[in-house]
Amino acid sequence: MHVVLVHPEIAPNTGAIIRLCANTGATLHLVEPLGFSLDSALLRRGGLDYHEHAEVRVHSSLEQTLGDLPGRRFAFTSAATRRYCDAGLGDDDVLVFGAERAGLPDEAKELIAPENHLLIPMRPNNRSLNLANAVSIVVYDAWRQQGFEGAAPHPEHGVTAEILSNDPFDH
């Protein structure tokens, strides 16, 4: 599975998505320009120590990115009418998300067939989800549809918990 972020702006969101990709086996593709430096402390903080476990590629354009990747392409946009959970997502699929403030640009949507524009349902009168949350919803459901292929066995039904050694919240 391939996750593509087009012009991401917020380093901690991208860091969280790096961590997500490390834990699910998805490859992350970042399309420039980025709203942060790849050696940003905020990016590292969001991804914790998962950066070395994730495959992250940076591309100069979405056209180049899509040209390099196999599989079906899906654009995530609130303007779509088809729900992500009705798409039957597969291992080689390319999941394309827009930036935090602007969403997916029209030029990006035009590169993906309209029938492959997907939405994440929300309550009425709400604008959007956090980008890291939106990507997590879709990636984990796609991985579930694939039977959690490659997941580590766990004695308690695959559920894991992280034990924090210090206070995780800033005061």
Q: What is the pLDDT of residues 35-60, one digit of tens each?
A: 988 876 766 665 556 677 899 999 99
Rounded Cα distance, 79 and 117, in Å: 8
How far apart are the C-alpha atoms of 83 and 77, rounded to whole Å? 10
Element (H, E) at 43: helix 41-47
pTM for the full predicted model: 0.86
Spatial distance between the Cα atoms of 82 and 96, rounded to a whole number of angstroms: 15
Question: Considering Cα of 66, then 67, then 71, then 72, what sign does the dihedral take?
Answer: positive
Quick one: pLDDT at residue 128? Answer: 85
Domains of the chain and CATH, by start: 2-145 (3.40.1280.10)
Task: Find the Cα–Cα–Cα–Cα dihedral 120, 130, 72, 6, rounded to 10°.
Answer: 140
How much is the average pLDDT of 146-159?
77
**pLDDT tens digit sequence for 88-114:** 999 999 999 999 999 999 999 999 999
